Chain A
C-alpha cells in the first residue's frame, strides 16, 4: 500500500461549484498535512498546511484532516477557472534533519467557465 493515495482525476466541475479533493494515508505517525497547487509546467507551491486533526480555512479554501480515518480533504468554494491546476496532498511525521515529505500523485482539476 502506498503511503499516500490520491485519485489522479481529471476532475471537471463548472465554475462556481464546490470542489472536494481527497487523499488517504497509511502511516499513523504522520502529523502534518499539506496541500500543494501546481499549475501546468510550473513547480508546486504550498497552498494549505494543517497539523493533526481538524479544519483550517483560508479564503475560499478549507483543509480538513480526520486522523481517525486517515483521510485528508481540500474544499474549494466558489471555484474559479484560475483554480484549474493539479493539487498534491502531502504529509510528514515530525520534521527534523532526515524527515521527508511524502507526496500524493496529484489530482488534475479543471474548472469549466
Chain B
C-alpha cells in the first residue's frame, strides 16, 4: 500500500495563476482532509470530505475549492493564487470520524506563490 500520496511535491506559481493539488489514498478511507501548515500557525483545516461527492468547509476555506469525484481522490484547487497561499499543504485520510480513528497524512506539497 502506498498510503496517502500527493502530487506535485513542489510548485512555484505567480500571483493570479491557478493550479490543482491531487491527493490519492489506497486505504479505502471514507474521510479525506486538506490542511495547510505555516510557521507559527500549526496545521489548519482548509476543506474536508465525509464521502465521495461530498465536501465541507474547514477553518480557512477562502481562496480554495475542492472536489471528491472518486472515493480515493481529493483535489484542492487554487483559482487565483495569492502570496498568502504560500504554504505546505497536507492531505490526510481516515476510515471514519470515530474519536479513536487515526488520520494518515501524505508527504506534503510545498507551494510558493510569487
Contact = CB atoms under 8 A, between A and B. Distances in A.
Given A8-B40, A44-B90, A95 B98 contact: yes
Majority secondary structure of chain B interface residues (helix, strand, loop or mixed): loop
A92 B45 contact: no
Contact residues on B (Cβ < 8 Å of other chain), bracket: 20 to 34
A69 B105 CA distance: 30
A93 to B, nearest CB: 8
Contacts of A49: 100, 102
Given A92-B99, A94-B99, A95-B100, A43 B42 contact: no
A95 B43 contact: no
B35 to A, nearest CB: 8
A52 B75 CA distance: 35
Contacts of B103: 46, 101
B107 interface: yes
A97 B50 contact: yes
B34 to A, nearest CB: 12
A31 B107 contact: no
Nearest to A36: B105
B102 A96 contact: no
A100 B59 CA distance: 10
Nearest to A95: B99
- A-B pairs with the 9 shortest C-beta distances? A95-B99, A43-B105, A105-B42, A103-B43, A32-B99, A46-B102, A95-B98, A44-B105, A103-B42
